[in-house]
Chain A
Amino acid sequence: LSARGEGYPRRMKTSQKTDDRDTGANLTSPVMAAFKVFQQELDTKHDKHERLVKLSRDITIESKRTIFLLHRVTSVPDVEEVLTEADLKLDGVRLNIRMIAEELRGEDLHQFHRAFTPGIQEYVEAVSFHHFIRHRTLISLEEINTKLVFVKEPEDTPEGQQPMGTPQVLTFQVTPTDYLLGVADLTGELMRMCISSVGNGDMDTPFQVSMFLRQIHDGFSYIGNTGPYEVSKKLHTLRQSLSKVEDACYTLKVRGSEIPKHMLADVFSSRTAMMDQDEGMA
């Protein structure tokens, strides 16, 4: 019995190996032929997925840089210059989105959605931040989408020939959920902008931001738990940002009349430092 116990697994292995060689060589069997087809189909799908993930990463990086750039508006005299530069950067991002749209031509947007959703959210955040700084309003989903309509010029036609057909139109549609998540992230940026604008002695922006944030917060509360799970998760952070901004406005109102303007910034920065500490404890 013990001899059998020892020989047993070894025998198993060899028998399996010969089987493998037998079937492995037989690539003409219907099963193997079918799996060859599946292999191709899966590889194509995975490749596309990887390309989309890479594009999404590029979009995320460039959008983050744009947001950093936009944060400079609180400390430079020429706001318009910064905005123009940011616009140029966003044009670059849109080129990447155009490549996503090209990858998705004829595909189901939702099948690959997970691959590029982080990038798109970051883009929504950057674009809406840019829009807020310029117009002090919230950019709508439609406005974002209209900027994502790309006209593809017909391929270079040889000289002497007429351009063939009409230019192809390629569109990318941001999903409502991506829009909501991007806007939720925007509130964090607005909070930072609010705090830093006080540091620069700007007494109007904080109040505008707090009004705007309150409206966004009300909007999200209206959706509440009926929306997608990720959206309700962001509601908590949104509330934190809002209370920071509201506290800031409170401080400005109460102490603004007591403390000379040039010292307000100091009072303020020490206060936000304390708040950050509290957060770290929680």
Chain B
Amino acid sequence: MRCMDIRKVVQVLEQTAREILTLLQSVHQPSGFKEIPSKCQKARELFCTVRTHLGELKTKFPVDQYYRFHEHWRFVLQRLAFLAAFVVYLESESLVTREEVAQILGIEVVREKGFHLDVEDYLAGVLIMASELSRLAVNSVTAGDYSRPLRISNFINELDSGFRLLNLKNDPLRKRYDGLKYDVKKIEEVVYDLSIRGLSKELEAGGDK
């Protein structure tokens, strides 16, 4: 009975997550690059709905049994963490903190305080964003933005070093992390293509200042 209730709310959450994703996907189109701020604004509005539904989800089970039903919302929570991280990256080109994600989703960071964002789910969300950024690097070149791939490259490299600090077990997070090197490689290729053609000169001048 309780599982049914949880599943229903999770389905609605998945629907909203798909809507946000569709909205953000348009940044990959040439015309979308100019509209990044307005897209982010719209996405943030949709996160209000997410907060409402997550608030509803909290009421469906006792607070101290989070991990009993964790598997039900784990997937969607990772997607939402990814979407929040992506929005924050597009806005400020920085890595979203776990606290920020929790704030955007209207949940807690620490388990003791209630419905929270598990650290592994946050990290999984960040990894999903990494592969989205490698795609963005490719498309920004197509759209004529040659400086963005370099900034993405720096960002992903830092992320990669960060993940290398972790002692991951043989778990799903580890599997996800193993995919990060392909994203790193892809972005490196883009940066290489740009630099060998002198297309990144503009940026180097900008980077010096």
Chain A, Cβ-Cβ closest to B66:
A108
Task: Please encode chain B, from 61 to 74, with 1 for each CB lying within 8 Å of some chain A CB and 0 for all others.
Answer: 00011111010000
- Would you call B184 an interface residue if the criterion is a C-beta within 8 Å of the partner chain's C-beta atoms? yes
Known pairs A108-B66, A108-B67; A42 contacts B166 (CB<8 A): yes
Which residues does chain A contribute within 8 Å of B65, judged by CB atoms? 108, 110
- CB nearest to B166 among chain A residues: A39
Q: Which residue of A lies closest to B157 (CB)?
A: A19
A residues within 8 A CB of B112?
Answer: 106
CB <8 Å contact, A113 and B188:
no
Chain B residue total in the interface (Cβ 8 A): 32
A64 to B49 CA separation, bound complex (whole angstroms): 53
**Chain B residues whose CB sits within 8 angstroms of the CB of A36 once the complex forms:** 165
What is the chain A residue whose CB lies nearest that of B118? A111
A111 and B162 in contact, given A8-B192, A12-B185 (Cβ under 8 angstroms): no
Q: Which of B119, B162, B167, B169 meets A31, CB within 8 Å?
A: B162
* Contact A42–B162 (Cβ < 8 Å): no
Residue of B nearest to A114 (CB): B67
B119:A41 contact, CB within 8 angstroms: yes
B119 nearest CB neighbor, chain A only:
A41
CA distance A41 to B117 in the complex (A): 13
Residue A32 CB within 8 A of the other chain: yes
Structural contact, B67 and A110, CB atoms closer than 8 A: yes
Shortest distance in angstroms between B190's beta carbon and chain A's nearest beta carbon?
A: 12
B 64-121 contacts with A by CB, 8 A:
64-68, 70, 94-95, 97-98, 111-112, 119-120
The answer to whether B188 touches A32, judged by C-beta atoms less than 8 angstroms apart, is no
Given contacts A42-B166, A46-B169, contact A20 B70 (CB under 8 A): no
Query: In the complex the two chains form, what is the Cα distance from A31 to B160 in whole Å?
Result: 10
Query: With A and B bound together, what is the CA distance between A32 and B160 in angstroms?
Result: 10
A38 contacts B123, C-beta separation under 8 Å: yes
**B56, CB-defined interface residue at 8 Å:** no
Residue B159 lies at the interface, judged by CB distance under 8 Å to chain A:
yes
Chain A 168-195 interface 0/1 with B at a Cβ cutoff of 8 Å (1 = within): 0000000000000000000000000000
The reply to whether A35 and B163 form a contact with Cβ atoms under 8 Å apart is: yes
Decide if A77 is an interface residue (CB 8 Å cutoff): no
Query: Cβ of B188 and Cβ of A31 under 8 Å apart?
Result: no
Contact between A113 and B184 (Cβ–Cβ < 8 Å)? no
Asked if B67 and A34 sit within 8 Å, CB to CB, the answer is: no
Task: For A20, list chain B residues within 8 Å (CB).
Answer: 157, 161
Note all chain B residues with C-beta closer than 8 A to A43: 167
A11 within 8 A of B: yes
Secondary structure call for the A interface:
helix
* Nearest CB in chain B to that of A20: its residue: B161
* A18 CA to B205 CA, complexed, in Å: 20
User: What is the CB-to-nearest-CB distance from A223 to chain B, in angstroms, rounded to a whole number?
Assistant: 15
A145 within 8 A of partner (CB): no
CA distance A255 to B161 in the complex (A): 76
| CA gap between A98 and B111 in the complex, in Å | 23
Is A30 in the interface zone, CB < 8 Å from B? yes
In the complex, whether B158 has a CB less than 8 A from a CB of chain A is yes
Q: Give residues 128-168 of B contacting A (CB, 8 Å).
A: 154, 157-159, 161-163, 165-168
Q: Is A16 engaged at the interface, CB distance under 8 Å to the other chain?
A: yes
**Chain A residues near B163 (CB-CB < 8 A):** 35
- Tell me the complex Cα distance, A41–B123, Å: 12
Q: Report A15 CB to chain B, min CB distance, Å.
A: 7
**Inter-chain contact A31/B165, CB cutoff 8 Å:** no
Q: Which residues of B contact A (CB under 8 A)?
A: 64-68, 70, 94-95, 97-98, 111-112, 119-120, 123, 154, 157-159, 161-163, 165-169, 184-185, 188-189, 192
16 new A-B contacts, CB < 8 A, other than A15-B188, A34-B162, are A8-B192, A15-B192, A16-B157, A16-B184, A19-B157, A29-B158, A30-B95, A31-B159, A32-B165, A34-B98, A36-B165, A38-B162, A42-B120, A43-B167, A46-B169, A111-B70
14 contacting pairs across A/B (C-beta < 8 A): A15-B192, A23-B157, A24-B161, A29-B158, A32-B158, A34-B95, A34-B97, A35-B165, A42-B119, A42-B120, A46-B169, A108-B64, A108-B65, A110-B67
